[in-house]
Structure 1
Amino acid sequence: MKQKILLCSDLDRTLLPNGHQAESPQARLRLQRLAQRPGIILAYVSGRHKALIQSAIREYDLPLPDFAIGDVGTTIYQITDNQWHPWEDWSKEISQDWQGINQAGLAKLFADITPLRLQEPEKQNRYKLSYYAPPELDWENLIPQLAQRLQAQGIQASFIWSVDETAQIGLLDILPKRANKLHAIRFLMERQHFDKSHTVFAGDSGNDLEVLASGLQAILVRNAQEEVRQEALRRLPPEHSQQLYLARGGFMGLNGYYSAGVLEGLAHFFPETRAWMETGREESAEEETAQSCAIYRSCKKNDSYLYVESQDDFSRVPGKLLEMLGKLEFVMRLELRPEISLAQANIREVMQMLREKGYFLQLSSREYRRS
């Protein structure tokens, strides 16, 4: 069996088109197609907390990931059947660095530093202390002063400085030394048995620099600021010069910004993925083929229908999904063709999901979930 690819990507201004540059209209659609492939394991790596990651997924119609590294690397979730399960082993891994002191205790050590303003409570957690600051802050001199105060308490910490160019505000995150995006990705790689040759990271900003210059295969999207681009190249050791790809646009007619840059870089490191992003003749021919299915109505969840390939065969349907639906009542057998219409679903989407996953769930809200 061919080794799967672990695609780790930042969200804001990497996959999310929430910067100043224009998004290629087809980019996120191609990302959706890619994420449906069984050969791709998708992990979001973000400074956002769980609720904000979920909000971004809904707002921008992003594919549901297999994993989410949140809060600038201080949390890891595994997502199965739309349930988010925190990895307690990761919390134990990083807790040693703060000597039992939480973020509120650490904040007292910096109460006299006026340029720093605490971020909202929901943006803090047990192992993440976050501040706003003026974007022009002399952080290169300030951070060593903060580190000295922590070291006097025996606390090992890392500092991540970045600038939100859209809001024009500086962001400073103070984390346990081991709690960072790079260590979290490597922890995920180890636990899921991915090596460097089958892992790739995509990012855009200063808080991605450690990963971009780490020697992991990495992508810097085209909309990254020039200072970030130059700093990534400066930090990159000569022996890892082939491990960083700078998106430049032109790939598949896309402009290289946001998810277009992620796709471009992924195809650079894994050329076989290009075919997974496009509708080629072979796939079009496959879609034109008639496909039979059996449709069941959920007796537990109103106006919800489950499509499976064969009548009374639920072997490819996740157990938790079957539990959620409860007793299923057979409705009909149906031959699906691209030219017919369904009242509550896209026919091609249904056919594709049946081929790739073995089932399709139609919900009353016109939303459907993938697993």
Structure 2
Amino acid sequence: MKQEILLCSDLDRTLLPNGQQGESPQARLRLRRLTQRPEITLTYVSGRHKALIQSAIGEYDLPLPDFAIGDVGTTIYQITDNQWHPWEDWSKEIGQDWREINQTELAKIFADITPLRLQEPEKQNRYKLSYYASPDLDWKNLISQLEQRLQAQKIQASFIWSVDETARIGLLDILPKRANKLHAIRFLMERRHFDKRHTVFAGDSGNDLEVLTSGLQAILVRNAQEEVRQEALRRLPPEHRQQLYLARGGFMGLNGYYSAGVLEGLAHFFPETRVWMEIGREQAAGEETAQACAIYRSRKKNDSYLYVEAQDNFSRVPAKLLEMLGELEFVMRLELHSEISLAQANTREVMQMLREKGYFLQLPSREYRRS
């Protein structure tokens, strides 16, 4: 029997198209079809807690994974029959580093450090202490100070700094030394008997760098920031150069962003998956691929509506058009396909315009027009 493939993937801006770049419309559908194969064991690796992972699965119509590594590596869940079962062995594994001290007690050690603001309670857990900070903070110097305090308490910790570019805010997670994405993936590999040759990770951001440069087969999706790409290449030991794949787009007509980059990287490391993708594409022949969009109403121009590819993503809309429409009010998210009828627009043309230009303008007229 052929060895299964363990696909581990970050969520935000890796599988989820919630960055500035546009998504290839067919990418998530193809990924969903691919992960339905028995040869694929799917694991989500995310900074999100369980409820937010579940929310993302529903909102973006992602496949249900076999495993989920959440809270930046501090929790592992096995999903069977839609039930999420936490791995207590993993909690015992990482708890030793903090000498069984929980995050509330740990936060008291840093109470006087004013640049740090505690994140919401739902973003904390027993072995995850999370802060907000300015994105321009001298984070290397700060982490050095925090580390000295913990060493004095004989507490072993790891520090993960990243910047949410969309919200323009710095994020700092303090975890037990062994509670990180890389160790969690290796723990899963060991318990489920996957070796390096049959494991691959996909990510996009600074908090994925440890895994991306670890020697595991890894994919950096094309929408990753240039500084992340450069830092990954800088950190990557020469002997691991072949283990990191930088998605560049063009594979199967996809753009390399988000799920498209994951598919591209999978085909690079596991050529047999390309055959599976082609089979999936043939099965989908004749089906109308859905086109996700978000619809906004102009408060300045009556009965004028703007369709864009994703909620709050106006990156492909001309500035002059946005100025003309003025303040926009969000109406709804919608999956467009041939069976949906729009009152004042041709559905197929709206879908085509979204794919080609990234937006569609519906004006107050019985005869809609291209923008």
Alignment-derived partner of residue 44 in structure 1: 44
Structure 1 position 122 matched with structure 2 position 122: yes
What are the within-5 Å matches in structure 2 for residues 159-198 of structure 1? Answer: 159-198=159-198
Q: Please give the root-mean-square deviation of Cα atoms over the aligned residues, in Å.
A: 1.4
Cα-to-partner distance string for 1:64-122 (whole Å, 9 max, x where unaligned): 00000000000000000000000000000000000121101111111111111000000
Contact 1:77 1:84 in 2 (8 A): yes
**Letter in structure 2 aligned against 1:29:** L
Structure 1 position 133 matched with structure 2 position 133: yes
SS across alignment from 1:278: helix
**Letter in structure 1 aligned against 2:198:** H
Change (3 A) 1:256 1:282: closer
Q: Displacement, 1:278? A: 2.9
Structure 1 position 219 matched with structure 2 position 219: yes
Alignment-derived partner of residue 305 in structure 2: none
Q: TM-score, normalised by structure 1?
A: 0.76
Contact 1:75 1:86 in 2 (8 A): yes
Alignment-derived partner of residue 34 in structure 1: 34
Structure 1 position 261 matched with structure 2 position 245: no
- C-alpha distance in 2 between matches for 1:135 and 1:276: 42
Contact 1:30 1:278 in 2 (8 A): no
Q: Displacement, 1:274? A: 1.1
Change (3 A) 1:199 1:56: same
Change (3 A) 1:147 1:223: same
SS across alignment from 2:150: helix
Cα-to-partner distance string for 1:172-213 (whole Å, 9 max, x where unaligned): 000000000000000000000000000000000010000000
**Letter in structure 2 aligned against 1:56:** A
- C-alpha distance in 2 between matches for 1:256 and 1:281: 17
Contact 2:4 2:39 in 1 (8 A): yes
Structure 1: gaps (5+ residues) = 288-371
Structure 2: gaps (5+ residues) = 288-371
Identity of aligned residues (%): 90
Between Structure 1 and Structure 2, how many residues are aligned?
286
- C-alpha distance in 1 between matches for 2:110 and 2:156: 16
Change (3 A) 1:32 1:236: same
Change (3 A) 1:251 1:154: same
- C-alpha distance in 1 between matches for 2:209 and 2:157: 17
**Letter in structure 1 aligned against 2:121:** P
Alignment-derived partner of residue 248 in structure 1: 248
Contact 1:139 1:161 in 2 (8 A): yes
Structure 1 position 236 matched with structure 2 position 240: no
- C-alpha distance in 2 between matches for 1:282 and 1:121: 47
